C-alpha cells in the first residue's frame, strides 16, 4: 500500500513539471506572407523591366496642354502649335503661315525632335536673313541647353515663293548672322576651359563650315 502511494505522488510531480515546461515554450509566430514578400529581393526579367520603362515613358509623354503662339511679319502671320507633355517637355507639331487670314503654307516638324522645357524658351523669328539673299527667313528654337541653343530654319525661296527647311542650319550651335561678311559664326565651350569657334557660309544651298578654331589648356 505504501508503495502504491509513493507511485501516485511521483506521477503527480512529473505531470506538474511537464505542464510547467510546456508553458515555458515560446509559441510559434505566424508570419504574414505579404510582410515576408516585402523583405525579399524581387528580380525582374529584361522584358519586365522594358515593359515598366515603356509604361513610365508613356505616362510622362501624355499631353497636358496645347496652345498656339503667333507673330506677324513680311506680310504673313506665323502660328506655332505647341504641345506640353506631363514631363514638362514642349514639342512643336507644326507651323502655319497665314496670308490675309488664309493658310499660305504649313511647316511640319518631326515628332520628338525638339528639346525645350519652358515656355520662355520658345523662341522664333521672321525678321532675319540667314542666307543673305535679301529675304527674311523663319527660325524656330530646336534644342536648349544650359548656355547653348540650336534652331530649325526655313529659308524663303524667291522662285517658289515658299519656305524650305535647311537641315544644315540645325547643326550650328549658337548661330549669329554677320551681314557684313555674309557668314554665320558659332561659339560655345565644352567644360570650363575649352572653347570652340566656327564660321559658316551659305554655298550651293547649304551652310558649310569654312573656319574652325579651338582654345583650351590642351591647345
Q: pLDDT tens, 171-192?
A: 999 999 999 999 999 999 887 7
Comparing 38 with 45, the larger pLDDT belongs to 45
Grid coordinates in use for 189? 565651350
90 or 60: which carries more pLDDT confidence? Answer: 90
Residue 39 is predicted with a pLDDT of 58
3-state DSSP call for residue 46? helix
Question: Mean pLDDT for the chain?
Answer: 83
> If pLDDT is split at 50, 70 and 90, which confidence band does 87 have?
confident
pLDDT band at 218 (very low <50, low <70, confident <90, very high): low
What lies within 8 Å, CB to CB, of 135 at 6+ separation is: 129, 156, 158
How big is the CA angle at 198 (ends 172 and 112), to the nearest 5 degrees?
Answer: 15
The pLDDT score that the predictor gives to residue 146 is 76
- Three-class SS of 49-118: HHHHHHHHHHHHCCEEEEEEEEEEECCEEEEEEEEEECCCCEEEEEEEEEECCEEEEEEECCCCCCEECC
Mean pLDDT, rounded, for 164-176:
96
Give tens-digit pLDDT for 16-39.
555 554 444 555 555 444 444 455
Percent of the chain at pLDDT > 90 equals 55
Model confidence pLDDT, tens digit, residues 108-141: 998 878 889 888 889 999 999 999 999 999 999 9
The alpha carbon torsion through 174, 110, 135, 159 (nearest 10 deg) reads 150
Question: With DSSP H G I counted as helix, E B as strand and the rest as coil, what are the percentages for the chain, rounded to 5?
Answer: 25, 45, 30
Amino acid 21: pLDDT = 47
Instruction: Tell whether the model's pLDDT for residue 49 goes beyond 80.
Output: no
The pTM is what?
0.73
Amino acid at each position: 500500500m505504501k508503495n502504491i502511494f509513493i507511485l501516485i505522488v511521483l506521477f503527480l510531480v512529473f505531470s506538474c513539471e511537464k505542464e510547467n515546461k510546456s508553458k515555458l515554450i515560446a509559441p510559434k509566430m505566424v508570419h504574414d506572407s505579404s510582410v515576408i514578400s516585402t523583405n525579399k529581393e524581387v528580380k525582374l526579367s529584361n522584358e519586365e523591366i522594358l515593359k515598366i520603362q515603356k509604361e513610365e515613358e508613356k505616362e510622362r509623354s501624355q499631353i497636358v496642354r496645347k496652345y498656339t503662339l503667333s507673330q506677324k511679319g513680311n506680310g504673313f502671320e506665323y502660328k506655332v502649335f505647341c504641345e506640353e507633355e506631363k514631363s514638362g517637355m514642349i514639342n512643336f507639331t507644326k507651323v502655319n503661315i497665314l496670308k490675309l487670314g488664309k493658310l499660305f503654307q504649313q511647316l511640319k516638324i518631326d515628332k520628338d525632335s525638339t528639346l525645350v522645357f519652358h515656355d520662355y524658351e520658345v523662341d522664333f523669328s521672321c525678321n532675319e536673313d540667314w542666307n543673305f539673299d535679301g529675304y527674311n527667313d523663319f527660325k524656330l528654337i530646336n534644342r536648349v541647353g544650359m548656355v547653348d541653343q540650336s534652331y530649325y530654319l526655313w529659308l524663303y525661296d524667291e522662285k517658289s515663293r515658299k519656305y524650305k527647311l535647311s537641315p544644315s542650319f540645325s547643326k550650328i550651335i549658337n548661330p549669329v548672322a554677320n551681314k557684313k561678311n555674309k557668314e554665320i559664326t558659332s561659339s560655345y565651350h565644352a567644360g570650363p576651359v575649352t572653347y570652340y569657334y566656327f564660321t559658316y557660309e551659305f554655298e550651293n544651298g547649304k551652310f558649310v563650315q569654312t573656319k574652325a578654331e579651338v582654345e583650351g589648356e590642351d591647345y
